[in-house]
């Protein structure tokens, strides 16, 4: 029984995972350059690697950190992006040569901008890799020119990575720069530091603070006066497995100035904890890829701030490629307020032994604490508990896509409820738009923004402009967050379940919720079309919904018999089930093929002519997507000769019924051929047509009659007509003639074989005697030798095998040896040889 239960387990898991996978399938997919999803692109041949994006406070200017340049784009106009100003900042030839001499590729030696932050309303601060020798500079926001105080760029070690592919994060608070990066050429010294401050701080160089981290994001919480850093690193607290990666959140206080004696110019408020993105009975998604924060709704406490993150797994046994988890600020604060692990500086191993809690690590104001307290927080900076996700479950899981970046937005729908919309970027170049519902995530659409694989990508959401900016190595793409005009009907608008779109009953259009003050039709949670679109005339006059289609939506297809036809069905949604139906008959699987793309294929016959309807069923709503009328091509009219006053229609070939007699002998062959010749002659000379008067009924085919010289199908009612007159068929006549011809040939062959056999029997049979015999026989009877046989004997026999004591009767004589008299029993001797008697 236990083995049977284990055998059924994979089937149960498959049944559970398949609906989830289908649910997370994007409803609509737009390929690159699709007219249904217009995008705006910025690209210049002399500008590359436009991956670092920073949006101005008013949302009208997008600053782009590129290769050897910083660019400001005007994005205030909808559907357009243009350059306002550009700062060219590239290394010298000497710097490039030194970079190449260090063993680096020349393609990695330019100045890749990796830090771009606002210091105030007039100045910006930028840092670049600068040929593996980081440099930083001040610049004016208005025209992107370097200020006089930075005529010579300053060293950027500890503020910007050396390697352009090394990930880092930076944020400015009150004109001070907080960065998380590496501080050496080889990338072995990770550091979280503060710059441009009266008191610059960094982490203690003691081992154990950070273990080979990969920084992904940072966020400032004003109410807490704390900055949170998100990264992944090797978890040294797990000693049962080598290189076990864990995701972390670390915090520091902006008011920290370091200790007076212990931890001088070092962080006294640094603490970190594990972020656990894990489903039940599965290994955790332990590698964080990106984190974004979503402020709480208006009037809600700051503890309701959410951090949405993308996580992947270092193992391939997880059910999905990527997972999204949400963490609440209140839960992070609670984790930091509880117990901490103890680090043994000698063995560099962590323990959870219970000890007296001297201070609360991570608490602001510890820079004024005693040396004993600072030594405690120096050895106890890893929280014992992990931060659990909201609801202790995964927000969403992608089974076939790997996400790399995300942005979050809270949207007020038409029903005055708030919904969270996530914009997720896949490593294959698709931007997914997902809305989070109580029953799970619903992916509204996916848009292809780039095709080439990108090593570094940037993404920035502009709520004021209602667009998402995606920066790649080839340029910047502007993607509107809403695409309401794409949905032509109320049903499509409601089935999209997009909180940004609603159906305007008066204007009969799908519009953006924020742009329409009127009440709009919308159902984000259920997508109930019948309830929302009650005034949109959705009640069909027929079971096929033909009244929902305009006159021009019926497509007529003219085909020929025996032609293969493929009818396409427009795929409006991946969540819909498309089926084909005919108003007057059913679609048999023996005659029709259903490929996986939703089309219908069949061979044209008189039975497959007619109307075809492609129907779509989604979320319980059924609608007609396409109507086809397949008809046979009409033959061109035959011109009538003007000289002939009247034409006699050529009659259809008569239908013959051939009966084969049971015994057919050679004597009847002539009669059969006479009948065949007569029928053929009557047909070829038109005797039947000439002798038949108009209106006379005569046979033209099975089940059809001809009235007044025109064929008529008895199955059609008055006024109905076949799409095309069927061409005359001589198949039955041909079969009858062929059968009769085969019979006649077989009969002739039989007669010929019989005659040949009789002739052979006559040749081989002995001649009948007349009782008197020939001269030779009479001489033999008298005992006189024949002149031809004199002196020619063989062993006492004559030349013809007759013995001296043979008897003669009325039948053919036989010798005593049973042979015929004229048949020798031994060959004749050679000439000149006398046989011995």
pLDDT of residue 454: 83
pLDDT of residue 280: 83
288 within 8 A of 274, measured Cβ to Cβ: no
Distance CA 80, CA 354 (A): 62
pLDDT of residue 617: 92
CATH of the domain spanning 487-536: 3.30.1680.10
705 within 8 A of 697, measured Cβ to Cβ: yes
pLDDT of residue 150: 57
Query: What residues are paired with 629 via a beta bridge?
Result: 556, 611
Which residues, in sequence order, are CB contacts of 711 under 8 Å at separation 6+? 652, 700, 701, 704, 705, 725, 726
Query: What residues are paired with 468 via a beta bridge?
Result: 461, 479
415 within 8 A of 396, measured Cβ to Cβ: no
Distance CA 770, CA 36 (A): 113
Per residue in 734-769, pLDDT (tens digit) is 888 899 999 999 999 999 998 888 887 776 555 544
pLDDT of residue 657: 35
pLDDT of residue 642: 58
Per residue in 350-394, pLDDT (tens digit) is 887 766 778 889 899 998 899 999 999 988 899 999 999 999 999
CATH of the domain spanning 546-632: 2.60.40.10
Which residues does the chain have with pLDDT short of 50? Answer: 1-22, 536-552, 645, 647-727, 768-837
pLDDT of residue 731: 81
Distance CA 436, CA 395 (A): 8
Distance CA 508, CA 511 (A): 9
- Supply the pTM of this predicted model: 0.73
Can you give the residue ranges of every domain in the chain?
A: 166-400, 487-536, 546-632
Distance CA 805, CA 798 (A): 11
Domain 166-400 has CATH 2.60.40.10: no
- Mapped onto helix, strand or coil, the DSSP state of residue 514 is coil
């Amino acid at each position: 029984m236990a083995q049977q239960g284990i055998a059924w387990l994979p089937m149960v898991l498959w049944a559970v995972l398949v609906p989830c996978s289908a649910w997370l399938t994007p409803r609509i997919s737009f390929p690159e350059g699709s007219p249904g999803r217009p995008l705006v692109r910025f690209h210049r041949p002399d500008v590359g690697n436009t991956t670092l994006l920073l949006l101005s406070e008013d949302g009208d200017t997008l600053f782009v950190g590129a290769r050897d340049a910083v660019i400001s784009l005007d994005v205030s106009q909808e559907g357009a992006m243009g350059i306002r100003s550009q700062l060219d900042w590239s290394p010298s030839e000497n710097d490039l040569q030194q970079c190449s001499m260090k063993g680096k590729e020349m393609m990695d030696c330019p100045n890749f901008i990796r830090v771009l932050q606002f210091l105030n309303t007039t100045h910006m601060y930028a840092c670049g890799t600068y040929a593996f020798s980081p440099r930083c500079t001040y610049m004016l926001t208005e025209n992107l020119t370097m200020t006089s105080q930075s005529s010579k760029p300053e060293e950027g070690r500890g503020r910007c990575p050396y390697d352009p592919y090394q990930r880092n994060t930076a944020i400015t608070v009150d004109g001070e720069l907080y960065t998380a990066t590496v501080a050496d050429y080889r990338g072995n010294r990770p550091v979280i530091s503060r710059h441009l401050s009266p008191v610059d701080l960094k982490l203690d160089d003691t081992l154990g603070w950070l273990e080979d981290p990969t920084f992904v994001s940072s966020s400032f919480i004003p109410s807490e006066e704390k900055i949170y850093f998100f990264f992944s690193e090797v978890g040294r607290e797990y000693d049962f497995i080598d290189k076990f990666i864990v995701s972390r959140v670390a915090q520091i206080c902006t008011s920290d100035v370091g200790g007076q004696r212990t931890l001088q110019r070092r962080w006294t408020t640094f603490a970190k904890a594990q972020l656990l993105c894990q489903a039940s009975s599965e290994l955790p998604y332990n590698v964080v890829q990106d984190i974004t924060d979503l402020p709480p709704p208006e009037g809600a406490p700051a503890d309701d701030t959410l951090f949405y993150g993308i996580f992947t797994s270092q193992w391939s046994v997880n059910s999905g490629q990527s997972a999204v988890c949400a963490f609440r600020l209140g839960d992070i604060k609670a984790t930091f307020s509880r117990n901490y692990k103890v680090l043994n500086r000698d063995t560099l191993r962590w323990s959870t032994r219970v000890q007296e809690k001297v201070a609360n690590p991570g608490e602001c104001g510890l820079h004024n604490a005693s040396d004993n307290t600072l030594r405690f927080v120096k050895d106890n900076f890893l929280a014992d508990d992990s931060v659990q996700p909201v609801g202790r479950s995964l927000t969403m899981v992608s089974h076939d896509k790997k996400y790399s970046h995300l942005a979050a937005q809270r949207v007020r729908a038409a029903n005055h409820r708030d919904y969270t919309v996530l914009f997720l970027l896949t490593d294959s170049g698709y931007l997914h738009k997902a809305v989070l519902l109580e029953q799970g995530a619903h992916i509204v659409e996916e848009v292809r923004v780039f095709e080439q694989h990108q090593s570094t990508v940037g993404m920035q959401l502009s709520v004021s402009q209602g667009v998402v900016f995606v920066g790649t190595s080839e340029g910047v793409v502007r993607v509107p967050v809403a695409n309401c005009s794409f949905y032509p009907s109320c049903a499509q608008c409601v089935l999209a379940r997009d909180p940004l779109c609603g159906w305007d009953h008066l204007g009969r259009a799908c519009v953006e919720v924020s742009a329409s003050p009127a009440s709009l039709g919308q159902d984000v949670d259920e997508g109930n079309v019948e309830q929302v679109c009650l005034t949109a005339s959705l009640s069909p006059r027929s079971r096929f919904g033909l009244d929902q289609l305009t006159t021009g939506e019926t497509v007529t297809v003219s085909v020929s018999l025996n032609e293969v036809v493929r009818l396409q069905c427009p795929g409006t949604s991946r969540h819909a089930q498309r089926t084909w139906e005919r108003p007057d008959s059913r679609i048999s699987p023996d005659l029709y093929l259903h490929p996986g793309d939703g089309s219908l294929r069949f061979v044209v016959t008189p039975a497959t002519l007619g109307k075809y309807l492609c129907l779509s069923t989604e979320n319980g709503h059924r609608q007609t997507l396409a109507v086809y009328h397949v008809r046979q091509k009409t033959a061109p009219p035959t011109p009538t000769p003007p000289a002939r006053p009247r034409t006699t229609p050529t009659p259809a070939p008569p239908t013959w019924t051939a009966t084969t007699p049971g015994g057919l002998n050679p004597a009847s062959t002539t009669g059969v051929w006479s009948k065949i010749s007569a029928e053929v002659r009557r047909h070829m000379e038109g005797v039947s047509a000439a002798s038949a008067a108009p209106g006379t009924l005569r046979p033209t085919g099975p089940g059809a009659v001809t009235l007044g010289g025109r064929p008529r199908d008895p199955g059609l009612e008055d006024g109905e007509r076949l799409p095309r007159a069927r061409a005359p068929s001589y198949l039955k006549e041909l079969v009858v003639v062929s059968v009769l011809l085969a019979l006649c040939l077989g009969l002739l062959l039989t007669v010929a074989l019989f005659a040949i056999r009789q002739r052979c029997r006559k040749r081989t049979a002995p001649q009948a005697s007349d009782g008197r015999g020939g001269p030779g026989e009479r001489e033999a009877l008298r005992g006189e030798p024949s002149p031809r046989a004199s002196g020619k004997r063989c062993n006492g026999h004559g030349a013809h095998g007759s013995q001296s004591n043979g008897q003669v009767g009325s039948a053919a004589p036989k010798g005593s040896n049973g042979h015929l008299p004229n048949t020798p029993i031994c060959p004749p001797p050679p000439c000149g040889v006398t046989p011995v008697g």
